Homo-oligomer: A and B are copies of this chain.
Amino acid sequence: MVLPHLPPALVLLDYFGIAVFAVSGAILAAEKRQTLVTFIFFATVTGVGGGTLRDLLIGAPVFWVHTNATLLICIAAALLVWVLSHRRFTHRSLLWFDAAGLAAYSTYGAAKALAFGVAPVPAAAMGVLTACFGGIVRDLLAGEPSILMRPELYVTAAALSSGLFVLLALAGVGPVAALVAALAAFIVRGLAIARGWKLPAYRN
């Protein structure tokens, strides 16, 4: 099978998403007073979880299996959080790293799915699922209430970004589409964290 190539800007977005999700996993391990090995485990599962699900679903080779670099990034992120003082990583910082990962992965996930010939609606869904999956698994493993169930915008930010990217890509907009989409997700999720923005909940 000949694999499609993605532009370098998107590949950078991928590494960025891995690193910030890995940091968010390690911060949760720190909150839970775990050992260094568990730091690495949480960083890795959070960092590569979403992309792994995406690759399995679209039938791509899982991206971290044939290279050493990806896991070494996750291990480095875990060591970084371990070495730096706990005071610098509050639960709020976890939310911000998670937001950056959400923005990067929702865009990159949709882009990779389109590159593999996935239909538009599932390509957008692929962005959402893969942006949210790392954080969902991180919370499940730690026994935390899922970030999914919090009232502020979360899935919505990912859906905005991946839907926007698919629309812009179908309209023929070039690499700048990725930047616009990722920024949109980060701003919306950022407002949710900073100002508690939320969608109306079901109340019937």
Contacts and interface: CB of A to CB of B under 8 A. Distances in A.
Interface residues of A, number: 65
A19 interface: no
A141 B119 CA distance: 26
Give how many copies assemble into the complex.
3
Given A38-B148, A68-B121, A202 B86 contact: yes
20 contacts: A33-B201, A34-B149, A35-B200, A36-B199, A38-B149, A40-B159, A41-B128, A52-B57, A65-B118, A65-B126, A66-B118, A66-B122, A67-B119, A68-B119, A68-B121, A72-B121, A82-B202, A86-B204, A136-B141, A142-B146
Contacts of A64: 122
A125 interface: yes
Interface of A: 29-30, 32-41, 44-45, 52, 56-59, 61-62, 64-68, 70-72, 82, 85-87, 117-122, 125-126, 128-129, 132, 136, 140-143, 145-146, 148-149, 151, 153, 155-156, 159, 198-204
